[in-house]
Amino acid sequence: MKSRQWRTTMDNNIVISTRIRLARNLKDYPFPCRLSDKGKAEVDEKVRKALINGNSAIAKDFQYIDFDNMSETMKVSLVEKHLVSPEFISNTSGRAVLLLNNGTVSIMLNEEDHIRLQVIENGFCLDEAYDLADKLDTLLDEQLNFAFNEKLGYLTQCPTNLGTGMRASVMLHLPALKKSGAMNMLANNLNKLGLTIRGAHGEGSSSEGAIYQLSNQVSLGISEKSAIENLKNITNQLISQELKQRETLVKSIETKDKVMRSLGILKTAYIMSHKEAVNLLSNVRFGISTGLIDNINIETINDLLVEIQPATLMTILGEQITVKDRDISRAEYIRNKLN
């Protein structure tokens, strides 16, 4: 049991979070791109009623958010937290989200598909995240009658989501592999295995702080269980490679200096951009996971990586501020958290 607990701790030092996303459409309605405002309102109402009337203990804990009455800052903050997609807030007409109070589940209504249900959990827990997503999916399907074809599986607007309609992903912290220069080669090899590795916010995003999102690309002709097992196996291989690279990296005096300098700057700086903060927090996170820093827990760093994002920080502060004032507030926020 002790060995298993150690392995779980090491996994979570590298895997920041896990996400399962399911795309679903109602059988009797066109895809959202061809759906009228009236149709979108009907889909919205049907999904809400299905969730509320479903046999689920957590149904009462969902909050319905109408995006037409939400500030731009709050919308962007939800994107930063991965609770909705950038595409979702680009045109919010007829769109809404059902959000679980603890922030682990969001159900986007009328994005690319009628329903985009996603579960986000801390750490490496693909099975647990899928189990919750599957239960909610079953609850909704019992009342909504999803569009399904015996040969193609769940029908989706984008052909790449046909089949299971599932995207499973893990958010990884891979500073040692990034420093080794292995990421481009790894990305090419993963692509051949039906997986893709990108920046934290998906396609086209940068990998600031050595944070990457690894997800499955194939959803047709493969079961959910097989896709998850494949992702789990590849993630475990990446974890092993990262740990091996860290063994060498952590012995370097330059690495130790970089980690401790980063912590010192975070604890004392009075102005800090988001990009600088992410890279410094990445160094400190590495230091915590390798034992160079023992008086800060890794969850504090994980929380800060979310909370210091521009829109989320302004949401926490409850005010709109200039970029410079935001950089000043970010530095103060980090100082208070770490000191």
Q: What is the pLDDT of residues 15-33, one digit of tens each?
A: 999 999 999 999 999 999 9
**Least confidently predicted of 4-18, 124-138, 231-245, 247-261:** 4-18
Report the alpha-carbon distance of residue 196 to residue 215 in Å, rounded.
6
At the top level of CATH, which class does the domain 253-338 belong to? mainly alpha
Contacts by residues 52-60 (CB-CB < 8 Å, ≥ 24 positions apart) = 53/143, 54/139, 54/140, 54/142, 54/143, 55/139, 56/135, 56/136, 56/139, 58/100, 58/105
Q: Is the pLDDT of residue 80 over 60?
A: yes
Q: Is the pLDDT of residue 5 over 50?
A: no
Query: Count of CB atoms within 10 A of residue 106's CB?
Result: 23
Q: Is the pLDDT of residue 4 over 50?
A: no
Cβ proximity of 24 and 114 under 8 Å: yes
DSSP state letters, 171-222: EEE-HHHHHHT-HHHHHHHHHHTTEEEEETTBTT---GGGEEEEEE---SSS
Beta bridge partners of 31: none
Q: Tell me the two tokens of residue 212.
A: 């990457």
- Whole-number percent of the chain with pLDDT over 70: 95
Cα–Cα distances (Å) from 125 to 8, 128, 173, 176, in that order, read 10, 5, 15, 23
- Whole-number percent of the chain with pLDDT over 90: 82
Cβ proximity of 44 and 50 under 8 Å: no
Indicate the pLDDT class of residue 6, thresholds 50, 70 and 90. very low
Indicate the pLDDT class of residue 67, thresholds 50, 70 and 90. confident
Q: Give the model confidence (pLDDT) of 175-221 as tens digits.
A: 999 999 999 999 999 999 899 999 876 665 678 999 999 999 989 99
63 burial via Cβ count (<10 Å: 0-12, 13-18, 19+): exposed
Assigned architecture for domain 2-244: 2-Layer Sandwich (3.30)
| Domain map (residue ranges) of the chain | 2-244, 253-338
Q: Give the model confidence (pLDDT) of 299-332 as tens digits.
A: 999 999 999 999 999 999 999 999 999 999 999 9
Report the alpha-carbon distance of residue 30 to residue 56 in Å, rounded.
28
Q: Tell me the two tokens of residue 71.
A: 């500030």
Q: Is the pLDDT of residue 1 over 80?
A: no
Report the alpha-carbon distance of residue 205 to residue 81 in Å, rounded.
15
DSSP state letters, 87-141: HHHH--TT-EEEEETTSSEEEEESSSSSEEEEEEEESS-HHHHHHHHHHHHHHHH
Asked whether this chain's domains 2-244 and 253-338 adopt the same fold, the reply is: no
* 3-state DSSP assignment of residue 63: strand
Name the binding residues for ATP: 17-21, 82, 116, 167-171, 198-203
Name the binding residues: 17-21, 82, 116, 167-171, 198-203
**Least confidently predicted of 55-69, 109-123, 313-327:** 55-69
Q: Is the pLDDT of residue 166 over 50?
A: yes
* Residue where the block lists tokens 């958290």: 337
Q: Give the model confidence (pLDDT) of 253-287 as tens digits.
A: 999 999 999 999 999 999 999 999 999 999 999 99
